[in-house]
Each structure stands twice: as C-alpha cells, then as structure tokens.
Structure 1
Amino acid sequence: MTAGNRRAPGVSRRNVLGLAGLGVASATGLLGLWKAAARDSPATVSGTPAASAAPAAPLVTPAPFAQATDPGKLGGSVPFVAGKAMLGSYLSLDGKSYPEAVKLRREQLGRDQRITHVFYAWPDRLPNRIEGMPKKSVPLVSWRAPRYQKILSGASDDLIAAAARRIRDLGRPTLLRWGWEMNGRWYEWSGFENKQDTEGYVTCFRRLRQIFDDEGAGNVSWVWSPNWNSAPPEAWNRMDAYYPGDEYVDWVGVSGYNLSRESPATLFDPVYTAYSARKPIMITEVGAKDHGGTSKEDWIRDFSAYVGQRPAIGGVVWFDTDTHDAYSEHWRFDTRPESAAVYREMAGSDRFSG
C-alpha cells in the first residue's frame, strides 16, 4: 500500500507476511507490524489537486493490445482472458487466521477469490505453498527489494536463484510483483532512495527475470507495478523511466486508493492510457475509504463501472484488511452492510468472473 507495508524496525522478517517457508499460516495482525506514514501518500498528480469521485467515463485510447508483440500470449503463464477480470485480495482480518478469513469471504460472496496476494521481505524464503489458498486461486507474490547495488553487484544472485526454485516448486502459475511502487519515495528500492537511478531499477528487474528463467521458473508471470502517481512529481521520476521493456513484463500493475476522494479514473487512467495498448492491466492494490455517508459504497459502484469500461483490465486485487496500523480506515469492504452488498454485486457480475 502507498506509504505503507513497511516493516517496523527490529521486527523479525519471519514475522512479516512471509513466515518463511510456512506460507500464510495466519494473517491476524500482520499488517500491524508494518510502519507506515500517511503523510507520504501523494494525493495529487503532478501537483494537480485530486479529483472528486465521479462515475467513470469511457476512455479514448488505442485499441487494447494494438501494440502487443503477440496478443495470443498476453499475461504469460497467467493468461489474460478477454472480457474477464480476476478478482482477488490481500486478505488480513482482525481476529481471524487466513483460512478463517477465506472461509468468511466465501460465505459472504458466494465465490472464492481468484488471486491470493501475499507479501514477502527481500531476505525471506519465497513460498512453495500457501496455506488456505483456494484451489483455483492464482498466487500474487509481492516481493520487497533491497537497494539496487545489492543486486547490481551480483551479491544477491544466489538468493534470487533460491527464490526462483521455490516459486518454481509451487507448481502452479504465479504472479510475481517485485519492487512495487518504485516511483514513490517511501521504499528503499525507490529511485528516490537510490540517487535517482531509474536505469538501475530496470537493470535489477531484468537480472531477476534472467535468473528465474535460468532456474526454470517458467510458471512465473512478471508484474511491473508503479504507484498511480509519482512522488516526487519530477521529470526524472516519471513511471515510464522504470519500465523494464515489453519482453520482461507480462502484466502492468498499479496501486491506488481514494484517500483524498480520487475517482477511479484519476487513480488508474495514467497507467491504463500508457500501457493498455500492449499489456494487460492489473489493479494490484485498491481500497475504498469511507468519507462519510454513502461514500464507500458509491466509490465501489463507480469502480465496478470503471473496470467495465476498461477492457484491458484483467485483474483486480482488493486491499481487504482492517489491520493496517497507519490508517484509522478499515479497508475491508464490509465495514458497512451497504458497502458489502455493493461489493458482492460487483464480485458476482460477469465482468469479474475471470
């Protein structure tokens, strides 16, 4: 999450969303271990005040995948399916283990999540199993990164190769989102924290993919996932400066939350406009803040309509939690009966039946 998902100093990496080698044995309170700074969350695009929430409008862009090298292979090992969006979540509910939370959501929605989102620190052993994951769900592994030099020097090659073998041994198509939100200022792998070396990020991403390929991890679909806007909003930090290249990316992801009443179009159209002509789009982190009244269910309804009007969106991953310690907001969709009902309606629609 923007400005979040940061580990508290002194907290063992084994206690942070990896539980090395155990998969997601329990999600209870794990986000509470992450320090966050809400003041870092950018609410503007290039200095422009965030737009108020409004119904989505049709977007005039090139035809989806008009520039794709091979439209028949979009998405890699996790293929894009035209007209369908996989709906999943990062799921962490207070007082419930991960399997218990999965069961609750199944009962509420009448369906399982299609994407299971988990987070791992850079030194963690990546999962070769995820406890409680629905059988037909696709893992989305968000893997934190170090500063670029630890990779560029070759010092991390063995760690990367070991991670590749574990993901390979999952034995199922897996989405890997390495070093997300690199165009923000809040992570050590950001360009901001690496002397504005955007090319260094690109080289690191390509190196990881090469090592994974060398280790036979052909089940991995690579997700490149910037934040919805750049912070700082300077020319050197534009998101496209971090793009590794079409041959290295299977899905283009994006994170965005309506912290300041941003509309779905404000949050996601910059990425959609830039990349939907050649890559499937995945909204890898999204949640609706309750700004009072009916604002939460209204925003979910607008978001559902937005995705319906953007055919290149093939995946949506909700930040479904009430354990994030940086915000009083509970991002879980069922904080109000009305918001739960609208989310259930979205989840049951044909557009989200991927």
Structure 2
Amino acid sequence: MVLIGALLLTYAVAMAPTTTFGGREDGQSDRLAKAEPGPPPRPAAELFPPAGKAFIGVMTDKGPHDFAALDTFTAAAKHQPQVMLFSSWWASDTFDRTLFDRISGRGMLPVLAWEPWDNKLDEAARKKGLPTREIDRIRSNQPNYRLSRITGGDFDPYLRSWAEGIKSLGYPVGIRLAHEMNGDWYPWSEASNANRPGEYVKAWRHVHDVFRAAGATNVIWVWSPNARWDDSAPKLSGLYPGDGYVDWVGLSGYYGIGVYTDYRSFDEIVGPTITEIRTFTSKPMVITETGASDAKGRKAEWITETFRVLPRYKDIIGLIWFEVDKELDWRIVSSPAVAKAFAQGAAAPRYDFSWSPSVLPRKELEK
C-alpha cells in the first residue's frame, strides 16, 4: 500500500501544472502572452508637403499685421496659400506669439524672414530717393550687426528669448535667417560691413546652436541665397552651414529687375544656381521669393511659363510669391490678365492640399 501511495503521489506531482508567482500555469501564461494583441502601430506622420505635391506661399507688405493683401491675393489666385513669409528685424522686434498664431490660424505655415540689422536705415534712405546702390551701401554698413558680434554671443539673450517663444508654439515654424547672403546689400554679407570669409557660416551655426540648446526643435531652418546674377557672385558652397544646420534650401529670383530686365525665363533665372547648390546638398528646395514685373508687358506670360516648368523640378517643394508693390509692382493683382495666369497655374492638382499644425515638415527629398 505504501508503495502504491508513493507511486500515485509521484504521478500527481508530475502531471500537476506548474505555476508562476502569479498563480497561472507557465505554459498557459506564455501562450496567452503571445496571443494578447499589443497596442496598434502608430500611423506614419503626415509630411508637408505630401509626396508629389508642392506648396504655394505668399509674402505681403504687412504680413500678419494686416491680412487685407492676403485676402486680395487669395481671391485673385483662387487658391489658399499654405505658407506665409513675413519679416522681422533684430533692432526693433521682440518675439510676438500673436503673429505666428494668426498665420497658423489661417491654415498657413509661418515662415519668418529673420534679419539681423536695423531696417530703419534702409527706410530712411529710400524716403530720400537715393539711387539703389547708394541705398545698398548705407544699409549694409551697420557695425553693430557684424557677423563676429553674433558669433561672439552679443545677441545671445535676444536669441534665447526668440528660441523660447518659438518653442512654446508647439507647431513647426520656418526661419529664413539672414537671406541673400551672397550679395553685398545686407550687413550680414561677407562682402560688406567689415565681415570676413567664413564668418557667415559661424554666425548661422551659432544661432542654430542657441535654439537647439533651448530645445526649440520645431524650427525649419531655411538657408536662402540670391539667384546667381553673374560670374562675379561668390561661390555658394563656402556660405553653406552644412546639412546638419539646414532643413530647406531657399532661393530668391525675380524677373524684371537688375540684370533680368530683359525677358528671362524661370529656368534661366534660377537654373544655374540650382545646379550649383546641388553640388553640395540635396536638401528640399523652396523658391522663397519670386515675382515678375510687367515693364515689358510679359508678366502673365512669365507666370504661365513658370507654372508649366515647375513640375520638372522634383526637388522644389514650394514657391513663395512676393505680393508687394515695392520698387516695381510684383503683385498678381496688378492686372486681370496676370491674376488669371496665376490662378490657372495654381489650379493644378499638385498644389491642392492643406497645411495644419499637426503635419511634419518634409526635410528630405522623396526617394
């Protein structure tokens, strides 16, 4: 009997389920753990602009301070711009959240043209009716805004105040810092204001690093030279801060001013500079300023041709129109024929999408 009991006890122990400290069978626990569904995968973030699309943006004289010109442009273009570019000057402007929120509230990505200078010198020179090159000389000579002072930290408290403000927005913001640096008409150009070669890149990286240290990771950094006007223009590679400091490369190019007074197509104006830029970076490109005058009566024709060739530039993800009557009338509302040409171009499906604060900026070109 003792032997039989021992055998039965051994059998019971061998066949009984082992348990975890939670009291469940080990085998069952493993099977259940494998069967239990995990959290659903997060959907891929929507990118701006979407694949195969390009945005149309606008810059007006008063920007978010007064939307009257924006409304007129939108009605003429029969298109809701997805981006608004506006200017701010270090000598006079402090961070104002209202301006960014007004733009985003209209369904547009705010892009700040952030300019380290005192623009009042420029305004005063223009009121005197001085020649263009004399105005350039006056406004570019501002020792208080030399590049070495930016790199040296003289403006760091000011930079941090903007970094903290933009960080608090919680949605993406473009910063086109110190644009058209390859000219000689601004005090941040290496060709003016007693600046030296290499100082532009150092100043750009310093500003970028102040924002990064503040945690302002919602910035789209937009590096934006002027379209090459002749062979005397400096090489752009020496002015490029590097892909680690730039998200979009921009470009300013107009028809009907300076060396472009005679008719020159969009291809002729921007093509050589784009080719040059592509030798050192493949970052997405935005035409950050463009417009056309009607001095030769071919403004509508130029706009039509521009919209026709734009799809060939797969690396251009957006175009910002300079809707301002300044020096010349660049606006699309300058005539019904011009407005019609722009509206027809903007009606293409590739521009039909919207911006929202939740989308992420496309920082790499489509594969």
- Out of 227, 239, 242, which is 1:242 matched to? 239
What is the aligned partner in structure 2 of residue 255 from structure 1? 252
- Out of 268, 277, 284, which is 1:280 matched to? 284
- Asked whether 1:92 is paired with 2:65, we answer no
What is the aligned partner in structure 2 of residue 61 from structure 1? none
- Confirm or deny: 8 A CA contact 2:146 2:195 kept in the other structure: no
Gaps of 5+ in 1: 1-76
In 1, the alpha carbon distance for the partners of 2:162 and 2:231 equals: 32
SS in 2 for 1:216: coil
- Cα displacement (A) at 1:100: 2.3
- Cα displacement (A) at 1:132: 4.4
In 2, the alpha carbon distance for the partners of 1:274 and 1:81 equals: 26
Task: Specify which structure has the bigger relative contact order, considering alpha-carbon pairs within 8 angstroms and separated by 6 or more residues.
Answer: 1
Gaps of 5+ in 2: 1-45, 117-144, 354-367
What is the aligned partner in structure 2 of residue 15 from structure 1? none
Change (3 A) 1:157 1:215: same
- Confirm or deny: 8 A CA contact 2:236 2:277 kept in the other structure: no
Higher alpha-carbon Rg: 2
Q: Aligned AA for 1:269? A: G
Change (3 A) 1:292 1:338: same
In 1, the alpha carbon distance for the partners of 2:341 and 2:304 equals: 6
- Confirm or deny: 8 A CA contact 2:290 2:321 kept in the other structure: yes
SS in 1 for 2:308: helix
Change (3 A) 1:109 1:263: closer
- Confirm or deny: 8 A CA contact 1:177 1:225 kept in the other structure: yes
1:320-335 maps to which residues of 2 (within 5 A)? 320-322=323-325, 324=326, 327=327, 329-335=328-334
- Cα displacement (A) at 1:147: 1.6
- Asked whether 1:129 is paired with 2:75, we answer no
What is the aligned partner in structure 2 of residue 148 from structure 1? 147
In 2, the alpha carbon distance for the partners of 1:224 and 1:129 equals: 25
- Confirm or deny: 8 A CA contact 2:54 2:350 kept in the other structure: yes
Count of matched residue pairs: 271
- Asked whether 1:104 is paired with 2:104, we answer no
What is the aligned partner in structure 1 of residue 223 from structure 2? 224
What is the aligned partner in structure 1 of residue 365 from structure 2? none
Change (3 A) 1:79 1:153: same
In 2, the alpha carbon distance for the partners of 1:266 and 1:156 equals: 39
- Cα displacement (A) at 1:342: 0.8
Please report the RMSD computed on the Cα atoms of aligned residues, expressed in angstroms: 2.5
- Cα displacement (A) at 1:148: 0.4
Change (3 A) 1:300 1:187: same
Q: Quick one: percent identity of the two aligned structures?
A: 30
1:1-354 maps to which residues of 2 (within 5 A)? 79-92=48-61, 98-123=66-91, 124-130=93-99, 132-133=102-103, 134-145=105-116, 146-195=145-194, 197-229=196-228, 233=232, 237-258=234-255, 259=257, 260=261, 261-276=263-278, 278-293=282-297, 295-322=298-325, 324=326, 327=327, 329-354=328-353
What is the aligned partner in structure 2 of residue 46 from structure 1? none
In 2, the alpha carbon distance for the partners of 1:288 and 1:177 equals: 22
- Confirm or deny: 8 A CA contact 2:113 2:179 kept in the other structure: yes
- Confirm or deny: 8 A CA contact 1:230 1:238 kept in the other structure: no
TM-score normalised by structure 1 residue count: 0.71
Q: Aligned AA for 1:291? A: A
What is the aligned partner in structure 2 of residue 65 from structure 1? none
Q: Aligned AA for 1:247? A: G
Q: Aligned AA for 2:303? A: I
Runs of 4+ off more than 4 Å: 77-80
SS in 1 for 2:56: strand
